[in-house]
Chain A
Amino acid sequence: MFEAFYPQLIGLCTGSLLLTSALMVWRHSLLASIRLLALQGMALAALVAVIGIAEGEPELVLVSLLIFSVKGVGLPWVLAHQSKAAVKQIQESPRLNPTAALLAVTLLTILSYVVVSRVFGLGDSVTGHAAPIGLAMVLIGFLLLISRRRARSQLIGFLMLDNGIATLAFLTSGGVPILLEFAVSLDVLLVVLILHVFAGRMRTKFGGTAVDQLRELHD
């Protein structure tokens, strides 16, 4: 019963991961991006849960819960912690226009398909086929980092990148050892917190969170 749905479930989860990623590139509103990030975190958690059930590993279900709480709820909440109204108004004016960005997204996705197919040989497994999505997310996250001007938007890019790695890890090898998974989550959480603090300081020092302003240190 579950085996029949398994490929579809995997497809659904990875599909939504990719979709949220692309949407995040498209949408410029910070609030929308945060919501999409939360959605992505939940999709990731679902993916892990599905794999865990399929492989019959209760450990993975636990991990799925962890991911849900950190990536699906915790981190978005931290990002949106500032008053909703303020966040709502923040509009990205990206350095890359949306058309070019979306074009880049497709190119990066194709690239990750090529790379993963060469590296993994794709194989027959369902997860193997979905693996390129993880890499694509990494690359799209990177694209966001490069093209977004606001501190928080960059953070979102970073988180997406991280989600991508996690996706890839779960799709290719059923996740890394649990201890490492904890460590990674903790690290990510701390990084986000630190960046969040810095973003706060930035606002007080620079009067805004546009990363563009950080041009004082140069040669």
Chain B
Amino acid sequence: MSFILWIPLVGPLAFAVLGLLLRGSALCRFVGVAASSAVLVSGLLLVSAALSGYVPDSGGGMLRADALSAYMLTVVGAVGLISTWGGLSSATSSRTRDAAGYEALIALFLAAMSLAVLADSIGLMWAAVEATTIATAFLVGHHRTRRSLEAAWKYVILGSVGVAIALLGIVLIYAASVGTDTPTLSWLLLSQSDLGLDPALITAGGALAVLGFATKSGLAPMHSWLPDAHSQAPAPVSGLMSGVLLSVALYAILRIQSITDLVIGPEFLRTMLSIGGLLSLLVAASLLIRQRDYKRMLAYSSIEHMGLMAIGVAIGPAALPSVLLYIFGHGLIKATLFVISGRILKIEGTPSISDVRALLVRRPGLAVPWLIAMAAIVGFPPFSIFFSEVGIIMAGWSVGLGGIVGAALVLLLVIFAAFTRLTVQMTIGVPSAGTAFTPDYSAHGPRLPIILALATTATIAFVAEPVGTLLLQATAVLGGTN
């Protein structure tokens, strides 16, 4: 059974190599899809294993898939599939030399994220997270324009520095474990209650690690790379980064939290994450009010959602099932939105909101899914984000974070209003007089992934079994008994 653990790592790499070998063939554009399918399938297999109470490990305990890891792996696979499938380029454009490299990097990226969630060692996970930066650096800069180069530079510098801070934190945590009898970086061992870790070291290490991973998960004030990178990367890459890379970093934060909570209690990280979450919401709200670029708009929306998730993490076990469901819902919807935004960008040729007008009349084939996904991302039911937000807010009050949650609601309202305004500007209304047009019903790309993503997020919250159980098990992994 434990060989499944290797599929999401080896599979994508194999496909990447295959793609490079098939360079120039039309087949190589399917490398990303194949890689994400591999991840998704193994994720689902591991989920079923976790549900039956079996926790496979491999590589001398380096890889381990408990319920949380399996869940995250599934999310990676699902979002990857939606992004890559939805972003499938036409067969002709994939014959260029770049295409194979691009697909290979995507596969590498997926493998790195899979490793990050499967690793049972903080160190290995750190390396995997850093590897995502390396894999995506050229993806962000894929277009080779001045802007994409700028975005890539900022992304790599800010991302690496952030992750370096995380490494500093991990070093301190390791130092704490060196102080005990068993120097280790294993989650499993570190999150045991009787280790006697040094509280001061764990505080400092935890804080630094969280701060570092907050960079990758796009929490303010470490978020600065995110709008630039998301707006310049090719749409599927943006979708992947926004949909899962941020969440994988959040997963790291969750794991760190499960260590620190045991040693120093939840208060310290709770304060830190609440501040970070609120700041993220504030930043998103502030910069969405007069946003001009729809891909940046989506990027700030990711910051917002990560902020709310961070508040959920701060709240602790009561909100964790909601946060986990949130990760899934946000990932799929945001990937969908980025995929559609990529198509809009391609067809309209401008990323500017004010230049894209009356989309619903001119291009209903793009505008309708765009609007549905927008409704989902701002938290309308039946999409699962609604339940996650309600769950987090409700839980927030019950653990005494009413003030934080209240402030978050105010900011969410501003964000909602700004978001609605921008969306309406893009989609609603009629084209200015004199421009002839015929309604374009084409979706400009595969429709199925979009429909699948929307349908899945619309129904998943109502699937009490086995999703509910899985979420509870994943929460239990993090020390929550809820």
Task: Report Cα–Cα, A202/B163, bound state, in Å.
Answer: 24
What A residues does B183 contact at CB under 8 A? 173
Kindly list the 8 A-B residue pairs having the minimum CB-CB distance in the complex, ordered from nearest. Answer: A180-B123, A183-B127, A214-B150, A173-B178, A173-B175, A172-B175, A169-B171, A217-B228
Q: How far is A202 from B203 in the complex, measured between Cα atoms in Å?
A: 40
A residues neighboring B (CB under 8 Å): 115, 118-121, 135, 138, 142, 145, 151, 154, 158, 161-162, 165, 168-169, 172-174, 176-177, 179-180, 183-184, 187, 190-191, 194-195, 198, 201-202, 205-206, 211, 214-217, 219
Within 8 A of A (CB), among B106-142: 121, 123-124, 126-127, 130-131, 133-134, 137-138, 141
B160 located at the interface, meaning its Cβ lies under 8 Å from any Cβ of chain A in the complex: yes
CB of B130, distance to nearest CB on chain A (Å): 4
Residue of B with least CB distance to A215 = B150
CA distance A168 to B232 in the complex (A): 36
B448 at the interface (CB under 8 A from A): no
Check A194/B204 contact, CB under 8 A, given A145-B161, A177-B185, A187-B127.
Answer: no
Bound Cα distance A194, B287 (Å): 30
The interface centre, meaning the residue of B156, B171, B178 with most chain A CB atoms within 10 A of its CB, is B171
B174 within 8 A of A: yes
Q: Are B171 and A165 in contact (CB under 8 A)?
A: yes
Residues of B within 8 A of A177 (CB): 123, 185
How near does chain A come to B201, taking the closest CB pair, in angstroms? Answer: 6
Asked if residues B171 and A219 are in contact (CB atoms below 8 Å), the reply is no
| Closest B residue, CB atoms, query A115 | B204
User: Of all chain B residues, which has the CB nearest A217?
Assistant: B228
Q: Which of A174, A179, A211, A219 has the most CB of B within 10 A?
A: A219
Indicate the member of B121, B126, B146 with the most A CB atoms within 10 Å: B146
CB distance A165 to B164 under 8 Å?
yes
Partner of B164, one of A151, A161, A190, A216: A161
Q: Are B157 and A206 in contact (CB under 8 A)?
A: no
- What are the residues of chain A within 8 A of B146 when measuring CB–CB? 205-206, 216
Instruction: Pick the contact of A214: B124, B134, B144, B153 (CB < 8 A).
Output: B153
The reply to whether B153 and A202 contact each other, CB–CB distance below 8 Å, is yes
* Interface: B303 (CB within 8 A): no
Where chain B touches its partner, the secondary structure class is: helix
Q: A194 near B137 (CB under 8 angstroms)?
A: yes
Can you list 5 A-B contacts with CB-CB less than 8 angstroms, sorted by A residue number?
A: A184-B127, A191-B156, A202-B149, A214-B150, A215-B150
A198 touching B131 in the complex, CB below 8 Å, given contacts A138-B168, A217-B232: no
A interface, by DSSP: helix, strand, loop or mixed? Answer: helix
Is A216 a contact partner of B150 (Cβ separation < 8 A)? yes
Closest-CB distance, B167 to chain A (whole angstroms): 5
- B residues 166-182 touching A (CB-CB < 8 Å): 167-168, 170-172, 174-175, 178
* Chain A minimum-CB-distance residue to B166: A165
Known: A145-B161, A169-B171. A219 touches B291 (CB 8 A): yes
Q: A180-B127, A194-B156 are in contact. Are A201 and B144 (CB under 8 A)?
A: yes
Interface residue B444 (Cβ < 8 Å from any Cβ of A): no
Taking A169-B171, A194-B137, A194-B156 as given, write out 10 further A-B residue pairs in contact, using a Cβ cutoff of 8 Å, ordered by the A residue number.
A158-B160, A173-B183, A176-B170, A179-B124, A187-B131, A198-B156, A202-B153, A205-B145, A217-B228, A217-B231
Asked if B455 is at the interface of the complex by the 8 Å CB criterion, the answer is no
Residue B95 is within 8 A (CB to CB) of chain A in the complex: no
Q: Does B254 contact A (CB under 8 A)?
A: no
A180-B124, A187-B131, A211-B153 as given contacts; A173 in contact with B171, CB under 8 Å: yes
Known interface pairs A119-B200, A173-B178, A217-B232. Does A142 touch B149 (Cβ–Cβ under 8 Å)? no
Interface check B227, CB cutoff 8 A: yes
Residues of B within 8 A of A191 (CB): 130, 133-134, 156, 160
Report the bound CA distance from A36 to B144 in whole Å.
33
Structural contact, B185 and A176, CB atoms closer than 8 A: yes
A201-B149 contact, Cβ under 8 Å, with A119-B200, A172-B172: yes
Q: Which residue of A lies closest to B163 (CB)?
A: A187
Contacts of A174 in B (CB 8 A): 178
Contact with A along B223-261 (1 / 0, CB 8 A): 000011001100000000000000000000000000000
Please indicate the chain A residues that have their CB under 8 angstroms from the CB of B201 in the complex. Answer: 119-120
User: Which residues of chain B are near A195, meaning CB under 8 Å?
Assistant: 153, 156-157
B279, CB-defined interface residue at 8 Å: no
